[in-house]
């Protein structure tokens, strides 16, 4: 079927932890052909591993990849502080871009990235968001259909070990712990479900005494429609939301119940080291999860994970029913008790993104999760920080609608 279709050529910028989870040896997603042809990284062993595994081109800089790579699209998976520079380089060389979350670390940077891509006439897709997950999209479809009445409120909770696994001190400082790193997932999920347009945000981060960074947050927000939502995140490896969810992991695999306790114990031991020892232990822990240092944690050729991805407990309350995810789809609690809708597992988050990118580039369809969508998400995440600092509600000015 896909024989006559154009093959989309992908280059990866940054072969770190994120990339170790997403490099995929399949040549087709959702019936659309693509090929990983090039990558760039500063770590020579990661480049060597890439050439061994994919046989593609490997470069030691963003500039070289974007200038000389045999690629249509650059997947930017470098640390957040480089996203603006790297997206601008890609645009300058006429490459389409998928950019990892967070899109950037400031609204000003987001604006510059959007302007650079608009000027170059290339697509910019906000990569890696759980709002692409099939259960979230199905719940949005049901809200839109009105089957169970109007949306009345949204609540989402995620408790896990974010701060204590594979995070450098510098990284936690740059992203305010999970606020700018994991916030984009929760905010995207809630914006997708509620239609995108948030009016105001009130929030307060919490402190993690172990990593001495922000450990999470509580956020109350209101949509233009008046629908309220709460977002709760706690990455201090105490309680684990997966316990309420058949121990399903973020990726739809089994999450061992000992995960949080192990992360916390290891981090507590590192904390007793001096500054140099702590930095070395954290770097070692980070490197262990990067591409080139490990065999993929998930063997992509082994197939699709057994369950839907799970990014915390999201409860969607409508006039005549309430929805949440099940392991394999969604549950709707309405008149007559809960019923389950089982969903297809093949087109998961990142595959759905690549499929959207393919259709945007090759078939000229609009990209939904584009730079403006990601900037609106970052505006909310930034407001979580500003609201607490300024002790007030922050009004949103850059929101965009789901337009569905
Ligand atoms: N760690 C995760 O599990 C994860 C998951 C999803 C998304 N992300 C996102 O992915 C991005 C990267 O995070 P990470 O955890 O993978 O970081 P990382 O440090 O593991 O990986 C970054 C990689 O980029 C390379 N790099 C840095 N500067 C470069 C440059 N100028 N040119 C070429 N390569 C360069 C580094 O050598 C490293 O291999 C962040 O935006 C993060 O939010 C991370």
Helix ranges (DSSP H) in 27-106: 44-54, 62-68, 83-92
The better pLDDT of the pair 4, 367 is held by 367
- Same domain, residue pair 125 and 109: yes
- Take atom 19 of ligand 1 and give the residue whose Cα is closest: 16
What's this model's pTM, rounded to 2 decimal places? 0.95
- Same domain, residue pair 99 and 248: no
Q: Is the CB of 268 under 6 A from ligand 1?
A: no
**What is the bridge-based pairing of β-strands 329-334 and 337-342?**
antiparallel
With a pLDDT cut of 90, the percent of the chain lying above it is 80
**What's the CA gap between 244 and 308, in Å, rounded?**
15
How many of the other CB atoms lie within 10 Å of CB of 344?
Answer: 12
Q: Is the CB of 40 under 6 A from ligand 1?
A: yes
- Same domain, residue pair 249 and 121: no
How long is the chain?
404
Residue 303: strand, helix, or coil: coil
Q: Is the CB of 98 under 6 A from ligand 1?
A: no
**How far is the centre of ligand 1, averaged over its atoms, from the C-alpha of 262 (Å)?**
24
pLDDT single digits (tens) 213-257: 999 999 999 999 999 999 999 999 999 999 999 999 998 999 999
CATH code for the domain in which residue 332 is found: 3.30.360.10
Domain count, the chain: 2
With a pLDDT cut of 70, the percent of the chain lying above it is 96
Question: Is residue 399 within 8 Å of 379, Cβ to Cβ?
Answer: yes
10 Å CB burial of residue 384 (0-12, 13-18, 19+) is: buried
- Same domain, residue pair 161 and 292: yes
Question: Does position 1 have pLDDT exceeding 80, yes or no?
Answer: no
The pair of structure tokens assigned to 223 is: 């949509």
The pair of structure tokens assigned to 44 is: 């020579």
- Same domain, residue pair 319 and 267: yes
Per-residue DSSP letters for 220-261?
A: EEEETTS-EEEEEEE-SSSS-GGGGTTTB-TTSSB--TTHHH
Question: Is residue 85 within 8 Å of 66, Cβ to Cβ?
Answer: no
């Amino acid at each position: 079927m896909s024989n006559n279709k154009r093959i989309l050529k992908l280059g990866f910028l940054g072969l770190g932890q994120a990339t170790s989870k997403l490099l995929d040896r399949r040549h087709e997603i959702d019936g659309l052909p693509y090929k990983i042809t090039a990558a760039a990284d500063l770590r020579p062993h990661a480049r060597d591993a890439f050439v061994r595994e994919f046989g593609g081109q490997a470069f030691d800089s963003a500039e070289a990849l974007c200038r000389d790579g045999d690629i249509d699209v650059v997947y930017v998976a470098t640390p957040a502080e480089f996203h603006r520079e790297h997206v601008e380089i890609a645009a300058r060389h006429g490459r389409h871009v998928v950019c990892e979350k967070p899109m950037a670390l400031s609204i000003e940077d987001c604006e510059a990235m959007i302007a650079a891509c608009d000027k170059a006439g290339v697509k910019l897709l906000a990569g890696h968001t759980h709002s692409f997950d099939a259960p979230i999209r199905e719940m949005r479809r049901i809200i839109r259909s009105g089957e169970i009445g109007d949306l009345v409120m949204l609540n989402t909770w995620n408790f896990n070990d974010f701060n204590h696994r594979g995070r450098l001190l510098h990284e936690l400082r740059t992203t305010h712990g999970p606020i700018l790193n994991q916030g984009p997932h929760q905010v995207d999920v809630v914006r997708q479900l509620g239609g995108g347009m948030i009016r105001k945000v009130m929030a307060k981060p919490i402190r993690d005494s172990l990593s001495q960074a922000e450990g999470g947050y509580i956020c109350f927000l209101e949509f233009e429609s008046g629908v309220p939502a709460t977002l709760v995140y706690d990455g201090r490896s105490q309680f684990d939301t997966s316990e309420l969810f058949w121990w399903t992991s973020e990726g739809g695999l089994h999450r061992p119940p000992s995960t949080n306790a192990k992360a916390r114990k290891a981090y507590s031991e590192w904390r007793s080291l001096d500054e140099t020892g702590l930095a070395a232990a954290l770097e070692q822990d980070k490197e262990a999860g990067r591409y080139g240092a490990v065999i993929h944690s998930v063997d992509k050729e082994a197939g699709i994970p057994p369950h839907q991805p799970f990014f915390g407990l999201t409860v969607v309350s409508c006039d005549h029913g309430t929805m949440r995810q099940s392991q394999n789809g969604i549950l709707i609690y309405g008149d007559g008790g809960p019923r389950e809708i089982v969903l297809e597992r093949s087109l998961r988050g990142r595959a759905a993104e690549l499929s959207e990118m393919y259709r945007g580039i090759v078939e000229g369809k609009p990209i939904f999760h584009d730079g403006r969508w990601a900037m609106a998400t970052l505006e909310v995440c930034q407001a979580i920080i500003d609201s607490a600092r300024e002790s007030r509600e922050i009004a949103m000015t850059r929101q965009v609608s789901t337009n569905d």
